[in-house]
Structure 1
Amino acid sequence: MTEPLITARGLSLVAGRLTILNDISLAIHRGEIVTVIGPNGSGKTTLLKALLGLIRIKGEIVRRPGLRIGYVPQQYAPDPSLPMTVHRFLDLFAGHAAGCAALERVGIADAHDRQLATLSGGELARVLLARAIAAKPDLLVLDEPLSGVDISGEAALYHLIADLRDELSCGILLVSHDLHVVMGKTDRVVCLNHHICCQGAPHAVAQDPAFLELFGDRSDLKLYPHHHDHAHSPSGAAIHDH
């Protein structure tokens, strides 16, 4: 199995009397999509911020040397009083050519000269994704990437994310509430409620008592098969042949 892109061991965070995260351990490898699910307030965004080094936390986080990370935050609201075009926004994070190529890849090259504040929710989500992939990251971290996206655009955006995993040969860690699409596209599901309740391949997690306790019987979930260049261990982790 390849060296993990990022490994967390025993992550814990307590604020006053509130336990936000308790003894979280996980690893993310190149080529796999790992999705964190859980109820509101379960610590999902806090976990992502800890892995990104944005907050201090008890425990150990090991990142592969030279690891490049692309990040799409849960919320980004452009200030309409601060004019900024899409291309100027991307130029803040990547070279002009890389930004243009990323915009074209996510399907909104024609938004190049538009004001950020005028974009629809789906368009803004794609601009943020373009920013995240412009530097060709090893790990793409997405916190509720469909926030503000209408239903018709959700499946298309998840298809795009899965395609980017293959094209960039990167690992993807995402948080999502959209169980239908997540269960169809992810390799490994981590069910979080301040601690890891269960994790593994989607079909296994959907039948786990801890999952059922949080989400109820979700026999309606469509677990579409996915095809790529690795197998899975019983826990759902990707197993590569190199």
Structure 2
Amino acid sequence: MSLLSAHGITVRFGNEAVLSDVSLAIEPGEIVTILGPNGSGKSTLLRALLGILPLASGNITRMPGLRLGYVPQKLSIDRSMPMTVRRFLSLPVRVGDAEATDALARVGLPGLESRQMAGLSGGQFQRVLLARALLSAPQLLILDEPTQGLDQPGEAGFYRLIEEVRRETGAAILMVSHDLHVVMAASDRVICLNGHICCQGSPVVVSNAPEYRALFGLGSQGALALYQHQHDHSHEPDLVDAHGRAPTDPHHGHNHA
């Protein structure tokens, strides 16, 4: 059974349809990345899947008892208010010292309990957000552009951490990213979004899709292929369009960069 699935969902802001007829499913243990230009509805889709935004049509189904973890795109901390990392990890639900220590160690920040949140670097801050999300032992971890504002080494390190989390916990991961060059190292499947699903499939397959190139340009193809994720699946999912049909372009599935 899928952990979470959306069936023909549409989200409107006033009279404008931000998402139209979007269908997708997240399976146990997979890492799925949503790519799309600014204004394509990526964050809106995540908020709809989380139940934060109402649907104009369609429906969302969750596996019974599904445990979700969420790392938002931005979280503002009042720098004039003292708050330690340890205190932050107990918001909104208090956790024990051992749990907090384990969570920080898992994200590579051992011993940071007494540090002030306002004094953390961008990369440390994002890892603390991830640690808090992991405290609920999620079966599905949802991340909204988790590396925004980080430099490329910071991004690469964070995505390696995400892959480790999947390997150690078995959690599925759904994330939005703007970064074409690093994120593909940790993706089993890519969904290209622009108000609707333009195409989806493995990174190397999507890189050849005309729909993807129309969104990101011909020059971006090499980034997807270069960082193709080597995973344990015996086969890669075929590219499909928004309606689940196989492509008709004879060049699909072949790297013709």
TM-score in terms of structure 1 length: 0.92
- Answer whether contact 1:199 1:205 (CA < 8 A) is retained: yes
Q: Which has the higher contact order (CA 8 A, sep 6+)?
A: 1
- Distance of 1:119 and 1:75 partners within structure 2: 15
- Distance of 1:170 and 1:229 partners within structure 2: 16
Instruction: Say whether 1:224 aligns with 2:228.
Output: yes
Displacement, 1:228? 3.0
- The one-letter code of the counterpart of 2:182 is V
Name the counterpart of 1:240. none
Residue by residue over 1:73-124, the C-alpha shift from the partner in whole angstroms, topping out at 9 and shown as x without a partner, is 0001211122110001102245222221110111112321011111110000
The 5 Å alignment of 1:134-153 reads 134-153=135-154
Percent identical across equivalent pairs?
50
* Structure 1 residues 224 and 198, CA gap change in structure 2 (3 angstroms): closer
Among candidates 52, 61, 71, match of residue 50 of structure 2:
52
- Answer whether contact 2:143 2:175 (CA < 8 A) is retained: yes
Displacement, 1:235? 4.0
- Distance of 1:119 and 1:184 partners within structure 2: 26
Instruction: Say whether 1:31 aligns with 2:32.
Output: no
Residue by residue over 1:42-73, the C-alpha shift from the partner in whole angstroms, topping out at 9 and shown as x without a partner, is 10001000101111112110000110000000
The 5 Å alignment of 1:55-70 reads 55-57=53-55, 58-70=57-69
- Answer whether contact 1:34 1:188 (CA < 8 A) is retained: yes
Give runs of ≥4 in structure 1 deviating > 6 Å. none
Residue by residue over 1:156-198, the C-alpha shift from the partner in whole angstroms, topping out at 9 and shown as x without a partner, is 1101101111111111000001111122220110000000011
Structure 1 gap ranges (5+): 237-242
Residue by residue over 1:5-29, the C-alpha shift from the partner in whole angstroms, topping out at 9 and shown as x without a partner, is 0010011012233220000000001
SS of residue matched to 2:166: helix
- Answer whether contact 1:94 1:135 (CA < 8 A) is retained: no
Further displaced range: 31-40 or 93-102: 93-102
| RMSD of aligned alpha carbons | 1.5
Name the counterpart of 1:239. none
- Distance of 2:40 and 2:112 partners within structure 1: 36
Name the counterpart of 1:111. 112
* Structure 1 residues 64 and 127, CA gap change in structure 2 (3 angstroms): same
Displacement, 1:150? 2.2
Name the counterpart of 1:95. 95
- Distance of 2:183 and 2:151 partners within structure 1: 16
Structure 2 gap ranges (5+): 241-257
- Answer whether contact 1:13 1:19 (CA < 8 A) is retained: yes
SS of residue matched to 2:181: helix
Name the counterpart of 1:76. 75
SS of residue matched to 1:232: coil
- Answer whether contact 2:140 2:172 (CA < 8 A) is retained: yes
- Answer whether contact 2:188 2:231 (CA < 8 A) is retained: no
The 5 Å alignment of 1:9-28 reads 9-28=7-26
- Answer whether contact 2:162 2:186 (CA < 8 A) is retained: no
- The one-letter code of the counterpart of 2:167 is D
- Distance of 1:19 and 1:219 partners within structure 2: 29
Further displaced range: 89-98 or 115-124: 89-98
Rg: which structure is higher?
Answer: 2
* Structure 1 residues 169 and 231, CA gap change in structure 2 (3 angstroms): farther
- Answer whether contact 2:69 2:140 (CA < 8 A) is retained: yes
- Distance of 1:90 and 1:225 partners within structure 2: 32
